Amino acid sequence: MKRYRPHILVVIALAIVLSTGWHGALRNALTDLRFSWQSRAASGNVVVVAIDAPSIDQIGVWPWPRRLHAELLRRLEAAGAGDIAFDVDFSTPSDPASDEAFVQALRDVGGSTILPSFKQPTPNGGAAHINRPLKGFSNQSWPAVVNVAVESDGLVRRYPFGEKLGDALTPSMAVVLAGQDANRRRPFLIDFSIRATSIPSVSYVDALRGDAATLDKVRGKKIIVGATALELGDRFSVPNGRLVSGPVLQALAAESILQSRMLSWTSDIGMILGLGVICLLMVFSWRRFAPGIRVAVLIASGAAIELVAALVQARWPFVIDTSLFHIAIVAYLTAIALDEIDFRSLLGRIAESRFHRIAMSLGDGLVCTDEDHRITVWNPGASAIFGYAPAEMIGRPFEMLCAVPMDGDARPSMHDAARQALLVPGGAVVVEFEGRRKNGETFAVEASFSGWQGTDGFQYGAILRDISVRKREAERVKYLAEHDALTGLANRNTLHAGLAGMIANAERRPREVALLVVGLDGFQGINETLGHSAGDLVLQAVAIRLEGQAGDRAIVARLGGDEFAIVREAADGGEPIAKFAERIARAFETPLATGTRQHRVRISIGVAVHGEGGQGADELLSNAHLALSKAKMTRRGSHVIFEAAIRQELENRLTLESELALAADRGEFELFYQPQVRLIDGSLVGAEALIRWRHPVRGYVSPGEFMPVVNTSALSERIANWVMETACRQARDWELSGNGVRVAINLSPSQLHSGDLAHSVAALLEATGLTPSLLEIEVTEDILIHDERRVLDMFKRIQELGVRVLFDDFGTGYASLSYLKKFPLDGLKIDRSFVLDLLADSDDAAIVGSTIGLSKQLGLTVVAEGIENRATADFLVSMGCAEGQGYFFGRPMPAEAFEKQFLAAELDAVSAA
């Protein structure tokens, strides 16, 4: 068994590699390496007409009108080009005139053009979608597949002869160009030793304008027209770290066919025979020759087989798989190395050094002595504790580590402690004594003594720990339990205890106790813009300033986040609390310095005074927070002292929330619809659904009164979903009556945060049967600004359903232009604030005009809000605005009134029909 152990190791290694598929990665790496060793030029019979950056700069943004492709086709045909293949998507219709021009050009060149078809995966993971050229194009051209397979490492190596699209086998583009038969042919390896840079290439724009030198290069050549510009993104990773464009990859495949370089793997029989030869050679030579000779034979064999494989691949279209051969060689080299190791000697050395390694790796100090208490082992932990190097302590008595106790007690006896350890379960005795460092400093040491009988007599050991570190940690834990770790201020627990103590003192000896809760205005913006590290510096600077202003008799604490608190106890005649709070607020008019930056931070303060503002500590904290909320809403940068009216406002809000919940249960909400018209002729294109509350006592309640409460309450999602469902069902009723009215709804932030909005919209469309294009969702910037990546994905999926997405209140936010670029939008609504004074305010006119122009460039529709007269509507038409809404066309109204005013004519026409 020992004789065949190395060969069994090799067999196991090969079995593991074959079962895991690792040899495939090595095979690909070796093949790619041979490509880099060999280099051959392209034949020049395939020319790429490149849709490159200069062409895009001169012609314009891609995609181009197909009349340009038609003109290019005629130019190439007139120049005497051979077969012409387009690596461009022709599966969707464009401008009818351009499409007809391209069909005519295909017909004029005699149907010799090759147009691409390709499979495109669907987003939900279903069956792949087949993109074919439009029927008019395919009738005048040859079909070809442009799909290539990307391997697990992200590279393209193989090229198919063809692929089944539906029931028919369609040949690949390079196969059609090279004039090969695609039937019953397996994919081949593209010869990447052909330099991609040697493939002739001309610019699309040069060929289009008839440049003589350019057209001369394509005469008699096979042509591939496709995108090479980086911005068009048609890129593939190929061996040896290169990136090539789609047309160049097709050209390399065509060149491989034309040069008879369609590479394929050789039979596995040769690999098996090679493995057998190397195994027999090693079995024969294992005990007959020295290890150096066997190593030389293995390395020479590996180099020889790799040289043969490289020569074969360079001369013939065959790739020899040498991966398993090299793996066997590496396994044999490993076996030779293992065979030469003296394991018994190695295990002996390990056993001898085990204790030493453990001792040297301990974080604690470890000291061992002989029976005379002289040190024999001194580890790095002991050096770290006492400051002595090992050379200074080996052979010295243990007692020199002990300081003479101040009370005159004797030093600890290692002998007594170690002997005692032998009698204790666990074999160790813990002793505490006063130690002395090399620099003379004394400190508390905890030592765990033990003893054992060795070959050289009784020996002692001690594990030493610096207790002063433990004590400092305990003090640190206590400090962290009472203070804020970032600012060093008192924390909430310490504040609460101090506040309760001041209240107790005030009840025994009357004096004013006031609690100020301080909130930073706009602090979140600092975190988002400059990062949390900059925000932490600001919080520390705020803490320093508050401590400087509050005085020694006050407790300054950080409650958490950007909230601080000050508890002040003032005797009669002291600074009034209102002036004190005002002084604190004014102190932040001066910028805060944090390193090289200065930050202007305003604060709002809520004040609760013991007595009127509450009796206990918890009540004071609660009321001070209510006052802070009031200050942030009404008096930012100043203070508000708590009074009963503030709590009354909160109770009113809670009452309103309760009434709103009852209103939702009783069905008191209604949807009104405001018409949206085509400005050029006033025809109806849609309606915006707006919620109204018909209170049983108060009548209709203004949305401005109840919607702010709805949007910040738990009812938000429920009411928003009701609005969407009701609007969709109303739109479906109008659709069934023959009126395709597009209904727009305003999206609530709660609908995004609660779940998968795209799934909910899809389910609602399926339940109601509404045509997706008749639903329009309006979103505002405050919705888009949170969780940008998730929101972006959700709106893409909504748009894929066919639902339109519009940006509402455009121009009122700070990042609207960036959202036009990032998010999938179909249009935008110009805010009414820009439209109301459009005729009188030149600035508004400039903004509206620029917005309309930008929207046209981006392919977005524009809806103007707040149109209240004909002059404004006409002015918007002259600026290019297509749609609008406002009181001039109609106020929001119930569905019945909307039908009578805007749909009656259409309904009558349907009935008559």
**H or E element, residue 337:** helix 323-340
436, two tokens: 């002395």
Asked whether the beta carbons of 80 and 219 are under 8 A apart, the reply is yes
Name residues of the chain where pLDDT drops below 70: 1-3, 123-126, 184, 341-353, 355, 359, 404-428, 454-456, 525, 528-529, 571-573, 613-614, 633-635, 644-645, 712, 782-788, 811-819, 905-913
3-state secondary structure of 121: coil
d(CA 690, CA 23): 66
315, two tokens: 């001369």
- Burial environment of residue 415 by CB neighbours within 10 A (0 to 12, 13 to 18, 19 or more): middle
Which of 430, 465, 428 has its CA nearest to residue 450?
428
Asked whether the beta carbons of 694 and 666 are under 8 A apart, the reply is no
Which distant-in-sequence residues (6+ apart) come within 8 Å of 729 by Cβ? 768, 770
Q: State how far the alpha carbon of 238 is from the alpha carbons of 104, 154, 263, 312, 602, in Å.
A: 38, 8, 15, 22, 57
547-552: list long-range contacts, CB under 8 Å, 24+ apart: 547/489, 548/587, 549/583, 549/584, 549/587, 550/584
pLDDT of residue 423: 53
DSSP 735-801: HHTT---EEEEEPPHHHHHSS-HHHHHHHHHHHH---GGGEEEEE-HHHHTSSHHHHHHHHHHHHHT
3-state secondary structure 221-259: CEEEEEECCHHHCCEEEECCCEEEEHHHHHHHHHHHHHC
d(CA 890, CA 868): 9
pLDDT of residue 698: 83
pLDDT of residue 913: 34
d(CA 566, CA 862): 52
Asked whether the beta carbons of 335 and 282 are under 8 A apart, the reply is no
3-state secondary structure of 317: coil
Look-up of token digits 């109806």: 684
The residues facing 673 across adjacent strands are 689, 893
d(CA 76, CA 223): 9
The total of other beta-carbon atoms located within 10 Å of residue 355's CB is 12
Instruction: Give the total residue count for the chain.
Output: 913
Buried b (16+ CB within 10 A) or exposed e, 684-712: bbbbbbbbbbeeeeeeebeeeebbebbee
3-state secondary structure of 290: coil
Look-up of token digits 């005002």: 582
Q: State how far the alpha carbon of 235 is from the alpha carbons of 153, 155, 244, 250, 456, in Å.
A: 15, 11, 6, 12, 76
Which distant-in-sequence residues (6+ apart) come within 8 Å of 789 by Cβ? none
288, two tokens: 């007959």
Q: State how far the alpha carbon of 516 is from the alpha carbons of 513, 519, 581, in Å.
A: 10, 10, 8
